[in-house]
């Protein structure tokens, strides 16, 4: 199995069976994010305890890329401080722009599956929706 095929499988799995897409109470922060160019719409919820993101979930609808990206992002954020979340968002932004090192890419775990989105300009906003919403929510 080549890398691109593996990345497609990861993307499909997070879209078809998202772990963090659910209705739930108890968020410390909640923010709605919209991608008007294609209609993606999410509500991102994060629970912060003792300075760390202890839980996260989202609701909404959109394309496979926006939904999978948000699910993968939440996987990465749980257990991280807001500062660590900011660093991951910076790495993700630079990955989408093609400006990330291989070492930095490893920090993104499965979210690195979206690296090729940079070659599809119409889909960049889809991949960035959850990340942009998280940064807005946390004032990053």
Per-residue model confidence as pLDDT tens digits over 16-74: 899 999 999 999 999 999 998 888 999 999 999 999 999 999 999 999 999 999 999 99
Q: What is the pLDDT of residue 138?
A: 87
Write down the mean pLDDT value for the chain.
92
What average pLDDT score do residues 79-95 get?
Answer: 96
Spatial distance between the Cα atoms of 49 and 5, rounded to a whole number of angstroms: 37
Write down the pLDDT at residue 5. Answer: 80
In the structure encoding, which two tokens stand for residue 51, read together? 């300075």
Q: Which residues contact 43 (CB under 8 A, 6 or more apart)?
A: 30, 31, 32, 33, 58, 59, 60
Question: Pairing mode, if any, of strands 52-61 and 29-35?
Answer: unpaired
Residue with tokens 């889809």: 126
């Amino acid at each position: 199995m080549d890398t691109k095929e593996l990345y497609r499988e990861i993307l499909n799995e997070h879209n078809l069976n998202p772990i963090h897409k659910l209705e739930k109470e108890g968020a410390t922060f909640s923010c709605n994010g919209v991608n008007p160019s294609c209609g993606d719409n999410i509500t991102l919820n994060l629970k912060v305890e003792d300075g760390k993101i202890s839980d996260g979930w989202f609701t909404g609808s959109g394309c496979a890329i926006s939904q999978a990206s948000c699910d993968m992002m939440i996987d990465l954020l749980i257990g991280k401080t807001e500062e660590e979340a900011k660093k991951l968002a910076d790495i993700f932004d630079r990955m989408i722009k093609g400006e990330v090192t291989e070492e930095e890419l490893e920090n993104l775990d499965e979210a690195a599956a979206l690296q090729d989105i940079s070659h599809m300009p119409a889909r960049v906003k889809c991949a960035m929706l959850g990340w942009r919403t998280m940064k807005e929510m946390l004032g990053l």
